[in-house]
């Protein structure tokens, strides 16, 4: 699989792996699975969305922020497999945490931003189980955080 070619088709690229903001590693391989730590919606070291949905950030902006979280998570996978995407089998799970106003209940639509990207990139191998959870705050005031679990050979 040439994920980089598919990303280019979508006018995207994997960013540098974001630096950890606490005491953890971005991704860890255990057997045939890679667990990716929660990735914030950062681009070039800066949050692209801050605050709760929908009062500070629109649904559409939150979906784009989720896509960025997933790109950051895929960059961590890329680092863990040393760029050898022939090792990739499938996406297993996506968990999306949404900084939500008390009355907001469309976290599943925010999470779709990441799920749709995984489908565009990997087709059937991008279909996954998912959690979409509303929370009262996230690290650094981020709007979205996502974690990923992938299966590799």
Q: Give, for all 153 residues of the chain, the pLDDT tens digit.
A: 789 999 999 999 999 997 787 899 999 999 999 999 999 999 999 999 999 999 999 999 999 999 999 999 999 999 999 999 999 999 999 999 999 999 999 999 999 999 999 999 999 999 999 999 999 999 999 999 999 999 999
Task: With residue 130 as reference, give the H or E element that holds it.
Answer: strand 129-135
The neighbour count for residue 55, using CB atoms within 10 Å, is: 13
Rounded to a whole number, what is the largest CA-CA distance in the chain? 44
Residue 139 to residue 83: CA distance in whole angstroms: 28
Nearest Cα neighbor of 77 from 2, 150, 3, 4 is 150
């Amino acid at each position: 699989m040439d994920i980089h070619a598919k990303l280019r088709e979508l006018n995207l690229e994997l960013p540098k792996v974001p630096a950890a903001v606490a005491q953890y590693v971005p991704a860890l391989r255990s057997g045939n699975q890679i667990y990716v730590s929660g990735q914030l919606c950062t681009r070039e070291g800066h949050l692209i969305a801050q605050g709760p949905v929908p009062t500070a950030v629109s649904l559409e902006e939150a979906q784009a922020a989720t896509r960025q979280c997933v790109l950051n998570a895929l960059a961590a996978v890329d680092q863990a497999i040393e760029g050898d995407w022939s090792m990739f089998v499938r996406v297993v799970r996506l968990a999306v945490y949404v900084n939500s106003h008390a009355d907001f209940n469309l976290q599943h639509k925010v999470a779709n931003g990441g799920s749709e990207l995984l489908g565009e990139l990997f087709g059937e191998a991008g279909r996954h189980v998912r959690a979409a959870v509303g929370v009262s705050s996230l690290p650094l005031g981020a709007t979205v955080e996502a974690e990923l679990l992938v299966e590799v050979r």
